Amino acid sequence: MVIISSNVFKVDTFINEYKTNDIERDIITKMDLSKERYEYNSLDELKFELALRKNIVIAAKKLNEGDMSFKTFRKSICNLHYWDRTDEGGFILKKGITPSVAIEDISINSSKYGTECATAMIIIYYQALLNIFSDKLFNEVFPKIALMNWHYIDDKLEDVGYLERHSNYLPGDRRYFSNPDVNPVKPEWQGENVIYLDNGIYFGHGIGVGNSDKIISELNEFRTEDAKTSAYILDSAARPDFKSLFDIYNKFHS
């Protein structure tokens, strides 16, 4: 159910703004049919979420098509012209480097980067926002960037670190496959962070694009010899705070 300004929104009056195969159309349809209440203060706020979700999916697909390798934090690599690598294996924006330029470089010179799946998720969120925010706004909002995991992410994106149960899941959601019987010598495969692309398909860095069976099968290859529990997807998802991000965007453009 979609609620705008405390009123049930008639999706039929809006959905034709998008073409049949547009991902926004699929998202708004799922919202409309859901038991979950998707509440907005304005139609523009709804459009912003649809656009950001679409760009999260686009960024995930683009990362998959690039040459960024999967590496443990211990062996992670980055373009040292734009980033300082920390002792923990994360990447910190170099002083004097423009944030938007550094984020764009991850796509331009993807072969110079290698990291685990959590960092890949963070990169996807920044790339998606850069596609919606102007360079000027992006650089004002994110003057300092740390790429590693949820513990280092900017406060404005902290919600993507918290998995919560929802009545349905939408393209652009971050989900997680757990692998409880992981081989202790391969702890990097204790689970896989993924972006839900649509139609039962996910992207996970190190595994690629595929359905849940593919991801589970890949994770199961890294279990202990006496493993009894298969990898599985958690019934939860993480989402950025679309409302607060829209407020930032709207204030800049008003």
In a domain, 110, yes or no: yes
Domain annotation covers residue 168? no
The answer on 155 and 226 residing in a single domain is no
Backbone φ, ψ for residue 165 (5° rounding): -80, 140
* 26 and 151 fall within a common domain: yes
Q: Domains in the chain: how many in total?
A: 2
Whether 211 and 90 share a structural domain: no
Residues 85-105 pLDDT 10s: 999 999 999 999 999 999 999
Q: What is the pTM assigned to this prediction? A: 0.96
Do the domain assignments include residue 246?
yes
Q: What is the pLDDT of residue 108?
A: 97
Q: State yes or no: pLDDT of 155 exceeds 90.
A: yes
| Residue 220: count of CB within 10 angstroms of its CB | 16
Contact 25, 12 (CB under 8 A): no
238 DSSP β-pair partners: 174
Q: Are residues 191 and 159 in the same domain?
A: no
Q: How far apart are CA 132 and CA 48, in angstroms?
A: 9
In this predicted structure, the answer to whether residue 13 has a pLDDT above a threshold of 90 is no
Cα–Cα distance for residue pair 176/121, rounded to 1 Å:
11
Q: Measured between alpha carbons, how far is 71 from 58 in angstroms, rounded to an integer?
A: 23
Q: Are 243 and 226 in a shared domain?
A: no
130/102 Cα distance (integer angstroms): 11
What is the DSSP code (8-state) at residue 149? S
Full domain range(s) for residue 208: 174-233
Distance of CA 239 to the CA centre of its chain: 8
pLDDT digits (tens, 9 = 90+) for 170-206: 999 999 999 999 999 999 999 999 999 999 999 999 9
On whether both 222 and 132 belong to a single domain, the answer is: no
185 shares a domain with 140: no
Higher pLDDT, 13 or 182: 182
Which residues does residue 195 pair with via DSSP β-bridges, in sequence order? 174, 203
- Same domain for 146 and 209? no
Considering the domain architecture, whether residues 158 and 195 belong to the same structural domain is answered as no
Residue 169 domain-assigned (yes or no): no
pLDDT digits (tens, 9 = 90+) for 14-72: 898 998 889 999 999 999 999 899 999 999 999 999 999 999 999 999 999 999 999 99
Output the six-digit token pair for 133. Answer: 């925010």
